[in-house]
Structures are given as C-alpha cells and as structure tokens.
Amino acid sequence: MWVIANPAAGGGRGGAVSLKLPSILRSLGLKFHYTETRRKGEAGALAQAALEQGCRKLVVCGGDGTLQEVATGLCRSHCYRKQAQDGSADNKHGRFSIGLIPCGRGNDLARYLGIPRELEKACRALAEGCLRELDVVEADNNQCYLTVAGVGLTATVAEICKQERYARLGWGAYIAATLKVLPRYKPLWIRLEYDEGVWEGEAALVAAANTTMFGGGLPIAPLAQGNDGLLDVCIVDKLAPWRIARTLPLLLVGRHLNHPAVHYFRTRAIKLQAENQPSLFADGEFLQKLPATLSVRHKALSFLVP
C-alpha cells in the first residue's frame, strides 16, 4: 500500500493529519510506503510512480484537489491504461483501488462516498472496506475531475473559497463567498452541445456533475450517480442577484430542481462555449478556460469505502 499525503490540504489540516496517520496505520497492521507532496501537481506524478512500481492499493490523504491530481495522473498513465485494457486493473483478486483520508476544505467526494472525516474511522475503511466503482470525467486538455465542474458564478465563488480565511468554513464558505460576489456578478452567454441537442442562452451558472455535491456539501446535482456513465448538468438562468440569494436555501437541501429558472439533464459528453473564455473550475480547482469538452470514463477508478 502506498500513501500520498498532502500536508498543505485544508489550509494546513493535512499536515496535522499526516503526522498522526502512520502510527494509526501501523496499529491496524497495515504495511505501507509513505510519501508527501511538496508542491502543487506532484500527487499525480507520485500516483504514476506508485502504479509503475506495482502498487495495487493507493491511499490519498488530502482533499478534492489532491484527488483530482491523482485521478489525472492515473488516467494519463500508460501503465494504468494498459492494465484497464487487458483487465488486470479490474480483476476480482488484484483490482487497483484507492483509499481516502479526507482532510481538505470541502471533502465533497468523501461525503459522496460516505467516508468519515474522523481519522481513525477513515483508516479502518482501508483495512475493512469494500470497493465502489466511480466514473472519471476527462476534459479535452487531459485534465480529469471526480465531483463537479462549474462555470459562471460557481467558478468565481470557487476561486474566492481558495483564500485562506475561507479554509475551515465548509459549505459556509461557499455561501459567504456567493453573497460577497452577488452584487457585482454578471451572467454569461453560453452554448452547450450535448447528446440530445443544444442549449444556448444567458446563465448565472452551469455545473457538470459526476457526483452530487460541491462547495463543501451543497447538492447541486442531487440526482447524480457517480458510476452511471453520465454527467448531470444543472443550469441556472440569468437572475437578478436578489433572486439568486433567495434560491440559496433551496440549494442547501437539494430542492432547487423544480425552480422555473433551473434546467437539468444528463449526457455522456458535453461541449461548453462562452464569450470571453471564462474559467472552468472542478473539484474546487481551476481546470481550464472555455471552450471545453467533457466526457465520462465509465467506472475508471475503484475506491475503498466503509
């Protein structure tokens, strides 16, 4: 078992968790090789190195951004692609799996998978858990993500939430940042090409979801299933700032889908185009500028869950 720990995750919470992790793993009788990231982007390279050296179980100690790096690194890996093609990454006796110790800001994938934030309980899942397959979404710049990608208001808010003072607020950070930017937000004109046709118009935000939550637990796509081979796309029409503020309580409980300004559909792939090349954020991190094409790699990874 290989451990990749990100001490910078969660505004420094990853460092505190990383200090305790080795002793807890040893107490559970687990043998492991331990590594730490020292710079942004390194987790993907470490995941590739672990795979190429025969690793069958990879443990990621970090947040959604760290997991994004790992997923991208694995999906780019020639070794992983070869194993997926010949079936050696997906057999019942030697399936490659990922364990998660959540210590990021939002931990949206951990929430979706039911992995607890308590360190000892999360470690126990590494020893006693079962496997759950998960789709991976791949962009046309070869970057991947696991939870939700967003453009418009969601991307602006995600960028603000990366600031240190928002680090420990969870979904409260998303709400606070949204209220901060609402007075000066501008809708974007966007064109979406998907399996069943085209949607074009002014929107406050567009989210392309693999799993249900973003922003530290906000269920933007409450119907999403992370292993169905489909993206759940949620569009919120252009609205006055005060109207957006009034819809936030609905978003908190996932009851926004019946709002007349909300559009929701599923697709295997989607192309997003917009004026002025706005930023697309995913897993709380910058993914790329538009235009972008997103497609699903069905059940590309397997996670250890309680």
For 223-260, what is each residue's pLDDT tens digit?
A: 999 999 999 999 999 999 889 888 888 988 899 999 99
Question: Is residue 249 in a domain?
Answer: yes
Residue with tokens 């809708």: 187
Residue 116 sits in the same domain as residue 157: no
Question: Is residue 285 in a domain?
Answer: yes
What mean pLDDT comes out for the span 37-57?
Answer: 93
Q: How many domains does the chain have?
A: 2
162: pLDDT confidence band, cut at 50, 70 and 90?
Answer: low
- The pTM of this model reads 0.92
Residue 224 sits in the same domain as residue 264: yes
Question: Is residue 18 in a domain?
Answer: yes
Quick one: what percent of the chain has pLDDT higher than 70? 91
Say if residue 91's pLDDT is above 50.
Answer: no
Helix (H) or strand (E) holding 55: none
Residue 290 sits in the same domain as residue 151: yes
Helix, strand, coil distribution of the chain in percent, nearest 5: 35, 35, 30
Question: Is residue 138 in a domain?
Answer: no
What mean pLDDT comes out for the span 267-274?
Answer: 98
> Would you say 246 and 187 are in contact if contact means Cβ atoms under 8 Å apart?
no
Residue 157 sits in the same domain as residue 274: yes
Q: What whole-number distance in Å separates Cα of residue 161 and Cα of residue 148?
A: 15
The predicted pLDDT at position 95 comes to 67
Question: Is residue 124 in a domain?
Answer: yes
Question: Is residue 269 in a domain?
Answer: yes
Decide which of 128, 156, 182 is a domain's last residue: 128
- Round the CA-based radius of gyration of the chain to a whole number and report it: 19
Alpha-helical segments (H) within the chain: 13-27, 42-52, 64-76, 78-86, 108-113, 119-128, 153-161, 171-181, 241-252
Q: What is the DSSP string of 33-44?
A: EEEE--STTHHH
Residue 258 sits in the same domain as residue 157: yes
What mean pLDDT comes out for the span 2-11?
Answer: 91
Q: What whole-number distance in Å separates Cα of residue 26 and Cα of residue 117?
A: 19
Residue 74 sits in the same domain as residue 162: no
> Would you say 147 and 112 are in contact if contact means Cβ atoms under 8 Å apart?
yes
82: pLDDT confidence band, cut at 50, 70 and 90?
Answer: low
Say if residue 139's pLDDT is above 80.
Answer: yes
Tell me the two tokens of residue 162. 């990366």
The predicted pLDDT at position 92 comes to 39
Domain that holds residue 124: 2-128
Residue 14 sits in the same domain as residue 70: yes
Residue 123 sits in the same domain as residue 154: no
Residue 202 sits in the same domain as residue 113: no
Q: CA 153 → CA 46, 54, 109, 236, 279, distances in Å?
A: 33, 42, 21, 10, 10
Decide which of 75, 96, 128 is a domain's last residue: 128
Residue 57 sits in the same domain as residue 162: no
Residue 92 sits in the same domain as residue 185: no
Say if residue 60's pLDDT is above 70.
Answer: yes
